[in-house]
Structure 1
Amino acid sequence: MTRIFVCQDEALSDGEAIKVDGPEAAIAVFRSGGELYALNDRCSHGNASMSEGYVEDDATVECPLHAARFCLKTGTALCQPATEPLRTFPVTLVDGAVYVDVQEAA
């Protein structure tokens, strides 16, 4: 497993997202309702960065290009045009720093 540093905890405000490079693809890290979530950054419907999407109060994010919505907790696609889920990643807070844990493909 690879642990990727994202940012200091106070650098990511509620309703915001940040993109980090993962070993295989970019990862979007979100704060919604005080909780931290991480998803694959690329929309499953098209070439859009989810970190540039609209974070909603109900722990969802809307794609900035196609208005598809995804659950931040599970990655589930909640409406068309997306039908495929986004991969989720565990987020860890250690000594005031935010990390994403990524299991690399074998």
Structure 2
Amino acid sequence: MSPLIDICPLDELPPGARRTIEHDDLDITVVNVGGTLYAIEDRCSHDDGPLGDGPIDAAACTIECPRHGSLFDLRTGVPKTLPAYQPVETFPVTVSGGIVRIDVD
């Protein structure tokens, strides 16, 4: 069974909100995009800068690196624009008992 990490109660993560946690030296940002939850590594693969603080485009389901503007797909972690060309990790998100959890395996 994969390790599930509790993030927060669902009502603390309404649409448009985000939460960043650290797990085993890995920062992960969980975002609520129009009611759908996504978890993505909080690290731009271009220069290891924080990704989770960047603007989110709900229509395109992307997050933009605040340093150099690379867009990453929240569903897959694949960069859609340069200068980043390597994907970052994404993690499955579940809600159980009103608690948002991510699978970090």
TM over 0.5: yes
Alpha-carbon contact 1:15-1:56 (below 8 Å) kept: no
Instruction: Note the residue ranges of structure 2 that are not aligned, 5 or more in a row.
Output: none
Code of the residue aligned with 2:38 in structure 1: it is: Y
Question: d(CA) in 2 for partners of 1:62 and 1:14?
Answer: 18
- List gaps (5 residues or longer) in structure 1: none
- 2:46 counterpart of 1:49: no
What's the CA shift for 1:34? 1.1
| Counterpart position of 2:62 | 60
| Corresponding position: 1:3 with 2:4 | yes
Using the size of structure 1 for normalisation, the TM-score is 0.90
| Cα deviation code 1:81-104 (max 9, x no counterpart) | 11011111010101111001111x
Conservation of the 8 A alpha-carbon contact between 1:28 and 1:41: yes
Off by >2 Å, runs of 4+ in structure 1: none
C-alpha contact (below 8 Å) 1:76/1:86 kept by paired residues:
yes
Structure-1 separation of matches of 2:51 and 2:3 = 22
Identity %: 37
Q: How many residue pairs get matched?
A: 103
How far the C-alpha of 1:24 sits from its partner, in A, is 4.2
TM-score normalized with structure 2 length: 0.91
